Amino acid sequence: TVMLERPRLRPYVDAMREKLCGVLGAETGCVSVKAKTGEGVDAVGESRAVMAQAVVLLQRI
């Protein structure tokens, strides 16, 4: 999840997901990219910062 006010990332989400899949060697169904706004709260909402969150599921092989 990428949180920022501007620019709007919706037009780029699919390309970002495809690029991550290529780098990770993962299938497209295994990678998700979301874009959200800070809704005017804190530094993200005031366009002073960008925040990214990543969740990873690891499996022992």
Question: Kind and range of the H or E element at 35?
Answer: strand 35-36
**pLDDT tier for residue 61 given thresholds of 50, 70 and 90:** confident
User: For 7, which DSSP code?
Assistant: S
Closest CA to 31 of 10, 55, 8, 52: 55
pLDDT at 7 over 90: yes
SS3 content of the chain, % helix, strand, coil (to 5): 35, 10, 55
Kindly state the average pLDDT of the residues 27-51: 94
**pLDDT tier for residue 59 given thresholds of 50, 70 and 90:** confident
User: From CA 4, how far away is CA 51, in angstroms rounded?
Assistant: 7
State the CB neighbour count (10 A cutoff) for residue 44. 18
pLDDT at 27 over 90: yes
